[in-house]
């Protein structure tokens, strides 16, 4: 089992832990409250330094049979255990961020990252409002202790600049109906319409981690690409981070299918007929460029009736996704109260009105 030192991010002023502050969009020391830009942090020998952010092309990952690695905390010397896809975690003893550079270097290093834009405290309010006003929501989802288990995670995504080009032929129909005193008439006019497509799609996303459901990650879109910055280890400070374990080719298959579906949908909209279905698809989908990026997501998992319900918030835009179950007990209680009131009103009506 490998025993490798984990990187951390130190305050240049007092050498305490410095983490990314989403509100200030700077790195903030948790001890002396000093704040620094990335450029200022890079001047010191910490996780943000230019030297530590060089990719080691010759690095060979050493793992145990159970694919767990041991790292050494720089702050207190404790051992940190991480699995094969974890690239940033915490020391359970001193709380220091452990940035596992060797895990990042053992594959394709991220090109870009969108740093978190919202504080952890603000997510509590957002999730509380999500569950508020839903009387049939199970109690576990309104428990503050459960909501406070939320974690900020950088999720790995593949992104592709894709071009779709070619012709799509549709069988189209327009339907017209009218009637007179005796009959109702329906007239169907058929067309064969060919649409020439030439579309460019920038940074089409595909989830790069098998840990998280693809549909959940897709629902978090869009992210604001204006907030993309060059990747640096320092942005992981104070958060968890995952490394991709979905192959680039597999992810591209999903991304290209999304582009194909969108291209057909846009072409169908251009037909301007009542209905249209594809009879011949001559589209070609070509990947112009591939990116590996990390995107910010706040996540919380709440267990209810032996099932884990995952809720996620886009750490860039604040969008929340997740399915809220209905409490069976509360539902029966609601029905019982409704029926009791119904019969009570009926009884009072019959007793005093009739």
The predicted structure's pLDDT at residue 293: 96
The token duo for 282 is 């001559």
State whether residue 252 is helix, strand or coil: helix
- Same domain? For 174 and 35 the reply is no
Instruction: Residue count of the chain, please give it.
Output: 354
Of the residues 77, 107, 137, the one at which a domain ends: 107
Instruction: Say how many domains are in the chain.
Output: 2
| Helix, strand, or coil (residue 134) | coil
The per-residue pLDDT for 333 is 65
CA distances from 147 to 37, 121, 150, 302, 321 (A): 31, 11, 6, 8, 14
**Is 135 among the domain residues?**
no
Q: How much is the pLDDT for 318? A: 92
Interacting residues of 296 by C-beta distance below 8 A, sequence separation 6+: 114, 115, 116, 117, 152, 153, 154, 155, 239, 314, 315, 316
Which residue, 107, 141, 172, sits at the end of a domain? Answer: 107
User: Which helix (H) or strand (E) segment is 311 a member of?
Assistant: strand 307-314
Extract the residue ranges of the chain whose pLDDT is less than 70: 1-5, 55-67, 92-94, 325-336, 338-339, 346-354
In a domain, 63, yes or no: yes
Q: How many helices (H) and strands (E) does the chain have?
A: 7, 17
Could you tell me if residue 126 is inside a domain? Answer: no
Same domain, 92 and 157: no
Residue 40 three-state SS:
helix
Q: Verify that 102 and 155 share a domain, yes or no.
A: no
Q: What is the pLDDT of residue 2?
A: 47
pLDDT on residue 155? 94
| Domain shared by 162 and 218, yes or no | yes
Is residue 252 in some structural domain? yes
In terms of domains, do 92 and 215 share one?
Answer: no
Same domain, 92 and 228: no
Pair (171, 262) in one structural domain: yes
Unique residue bearing structure tokens 């569950």: 131
Residue 116: both structure tokens together: 């978190």
Which of 49, 57, 55, 37 minimizes the C-alpha distance to 7? 49
- The radius of gyration of the chain from alpha carbons, rounded to an integer in Å, stands at 27
- The answer to whether position 331 is within a domain reads no
Same domain, 213 and 283: yes
Where a domain ends, among 84, 107, 130?
A: 107
* Per-residue b or e along 194-205, where b marks 16 or more CB atoms closer than 10 Å to that residue's CB: ebebeeebebbb
HSE (side-chain half, CA atoms, 13 Å) at 214: 12
Same-domain pairing of 211 and 284: yes
Report if residue 340 sits inside a domain.
Answer: no
69 & 175 share domain: no
For 134, list phi and psi in degrees, rounded to 5. -120, 90
Look-up: residue for tokens 């050493």?
Answer: 62
Residues 242 and 87: their CA atoms lie apart, in Å, by 5
On whether both 168 and 273 belong to a single domain, the answer is yes
Number of neighbouring beta carbons within 10 Å of residue 44: 16
In a domain, 120, yes or no: no
pLDDT of residue 62: 42
Regarding whether 80 and 167 lie in a shared domain, the answer is no
Would residue 258 count as lying in a domain?
A: yes
Residue numbers of the domain that contains 204: 151-323
């Amino acid at each position: 089992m490998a025993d490798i030192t984990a990187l951390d991010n130190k305050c240049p002023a007092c050498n305490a832990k410095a983490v990314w502050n989403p509100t200030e969009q700077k790195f903030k020391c948790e001890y002396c409250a000093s704040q620094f830009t990335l450029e200022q942090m890079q001047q010191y020998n910490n996780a943000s330094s230019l030297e530590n952010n060089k990719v080691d092309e010759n690095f060979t990952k050493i793992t145990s049979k159970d694919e767990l690695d041991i790292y050494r905390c720089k702050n207190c010397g404790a051992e940190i255990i991480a699995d094969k896809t974890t690239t940033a975690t915490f020391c359970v003893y001193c709380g220091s961020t452990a940035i596992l550079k060797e895990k990042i270097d053992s594959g394709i290093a991220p090109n870009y990252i969108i740093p978190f834009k919202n504080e952890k405290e603000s997510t509590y309010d957002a999730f509380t409002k999500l569950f508020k006003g839903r009387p049939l929501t199970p109690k576990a989802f309104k428990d503050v202790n459960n909501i406070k288990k939320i974690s900020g995670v950088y999720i790995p995504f593949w992104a592709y600049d894709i071009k779709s080009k070619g012709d799509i032929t549709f069988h189209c129909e327009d339907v017209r109906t009218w009637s007179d005193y005796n009959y109702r008439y329906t007239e169907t006019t058929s067309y064969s319409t060919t649409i020439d497509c030439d579309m460019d799609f920038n940074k089409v996303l595909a989830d790069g981690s098998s840990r998280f459901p693809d549909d959940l990650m897709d629902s978090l879109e869009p992210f604001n690409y204006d907030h993309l910055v060059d990747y640096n280890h320092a942005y992981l400070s104070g958060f968890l981070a995952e490394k991709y374990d979905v192959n680039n080719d597999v992810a591209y298959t999903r991304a290209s299918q999304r582009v194909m579906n969108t291209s057909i949908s846009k072409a169908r909209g251009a037909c301007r007929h009542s209905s249209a279905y594809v009879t011949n698809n001559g589209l070609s989908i070509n990947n112009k460029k591939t990116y590996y990026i990390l995107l910010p997501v706040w996540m919380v998992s709440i267990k209810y009736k032996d099932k884990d319900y995952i809720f996620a918030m886009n750490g860039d835009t604040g969008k929340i996704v997740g399915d809220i179950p209905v409490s069976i007990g509360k539902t029966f209680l609601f029905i019982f109260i409704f029926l009791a009131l119904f019969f009570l009103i009926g009884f009072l009506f019959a007793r005093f009105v009739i």
